[in-house]
């Protein structure tokens, strides 16, 4: 689930360590003996869905220090308060230097996974799959989408490069629905188009559109549009959809619901690191 060999992941970890440690952890260097050995535990301080624990070996490896690390849980696991996520043993300086970077990744990514799982739970027993979006933290998209997947969400496109999504501004710039779809036929991959009116919907279907984005509809309007489309294209709903109303939208019968809140509004969860000195 978490590909720690993916270049974006390697880069994110390296940048995070460089950002935090810089030229050195002066507090630890001044106050902690270089020979002092310690053990540490990462502990869930609330109920959460875990994500990113597989980054811990990469963090310590990139830092350049040998440690004895045990991962006791995996991304996607539902944890209760008090669950030990991982343990690590090494020099106290190493554990202190890697503490904040490790926690930042675990808390942020688990926050995304936890919110993702809540959205997925709300659409249970419907045909609808929940999608994430490109509304991610700059530089952390790959990791945040991995976290969303750990929470049970289906990844939408990773960027502007891997799928065509023709939105209202593209339609305006291209000169209309038909023109935009005709120009997009050169792409050998998925093509989706946003339709805002019934006229645009009919035009898109007449042009052979296979996936439609229906934006900013009410649940009742969404259900009416999905019935009208009647399987002639797959449907995705988006816009003003949140935990309080996502089930109403799912019951409209759409194939997909995309929710930017899963990444842009996720709150970091509470995970702590407990250090103990070894004799």
The full set of domain ranges for the chain reads 7-119+266-277, 121-264
Record: fold of 121-264: TIM Barrel (3.20.20)
Mean per-residue pLDDT of the chain: 97
Distance CA 172, CA 180 (A): 9
Give yes or no: 100 in active site. Answer: yes
Give yes or no: 35 in active site. Answer: no
* Span 12-19, average pLDDT: 98
The model carries a pTM of: 0.96
Give yes or no: 61 in active site. Answer: no
**Closest among 175, 170, 211, 208 to 190, alpha carbons compared:** 211
Q: Is the pLDDT of residue 51 over 80?
A: yes
Q: Which two tokens stand for residue 118?
A: 């809540």
Q: What is the pLDDT at residue 65? A: 85
Q: What is the pLDDT at residue 123? A: 98
* Span 220-228, average pLDDT: 98
Give yes or no: 141 in active site. Answer: no
- Whether the Cβ atoms of residue 130 and residue 156 lie closer than 8 Å to each other: no
Instruction: Tell me which of 61, 89, 129, 167 is the catalytic residue.
Output: 167
Q: Is the pLDDT of residue 279 over 90?
A: no
Instruction: Tell me which of 89, 135, 196, 232 is the catalytic residue.
Output: 135
CATH of domain 7-119+266-277: 3.90.1170.20
Q: pLDDT (tens digit, 9 = 90+) per residue, 68-93?
A: 999 999 999 999 999 999 999 999 99
Q: Is the pLDDT of residue 1 over 80?
A: no
Q: What is the pLDDT at residue 226? A: 98
Under DSSP, the state recorded for 154 is B
The dihedrals phi and psi of 257, each to the nearest 5 degrees, come to: -130, 125
Distance CA 11, CA 51 (A): 18
- Whether the Cβ atoms of residue 28 and residue 95 lie closer than 8 Å to each other: no
Give yes or no: 215 in active site. Answer: yes
Instruction: Tell me which of 97, 99, 132, 194 is the catalytic residue.
Output: 194
* Span 116-139, average pLDDT: 98
């Amino acid at each position: 689930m978490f590909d720690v060999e993916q270049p974006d992941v390697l880069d994110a970890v390296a940048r995070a360590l460089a950002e935090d440690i810089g030229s050195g952890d002066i507090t630890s260097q001044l106050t902690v003996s270089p020979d002092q050995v310690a053990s540490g535990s990462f502990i869930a301080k609330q109920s959460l869905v875990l994500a990113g624990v597989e980054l811990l070996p990469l963090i310590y490896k990139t830092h350049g220090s040998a440690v004895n690390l045990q991962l006791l849980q995996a991304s996607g696991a539902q944890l209760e308060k008090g669950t030990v996520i991982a343990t690590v043993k090494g020099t106290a300086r190493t554990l202190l230097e890697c503490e904040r970077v490790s926690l930042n990744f675990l808390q942020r990514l688990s926050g995304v996974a936890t919110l993702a799982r809540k959205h997925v739970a709300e659409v249970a027993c419907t045909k609808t799959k929940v999608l994430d979006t490109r509304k991610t933290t700059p530089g952390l998209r790959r990791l945040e989408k991995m976290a969303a997947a750990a929470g049970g969400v289906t990844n939408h496109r990773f960027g502007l490069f891997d799928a065509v999504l023709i939105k209202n501004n593209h339609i305006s710039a291209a000169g209309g629905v038909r023109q935009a779809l005709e120009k997009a036929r050169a792409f050998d991959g998925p093509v989706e188009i946003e339709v805002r009116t019934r006229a645009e919907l009919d035009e898109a279907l007449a042009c052979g559109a296979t996936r439609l984005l229906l934006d900013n509809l009410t649940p009742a309007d969404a259900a009416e549009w999905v019935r009208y489309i009647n399987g002639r294209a797959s449907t995705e709903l988006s816009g003003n959809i949140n935990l309080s109303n996502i089930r109403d939208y799912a019951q409209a019968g759409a194939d997909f619901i995309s929710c930017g809140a899963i990444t842009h509004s996720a709150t970091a969860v509470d995970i702590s690191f407990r250090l103990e000195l070894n004799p």
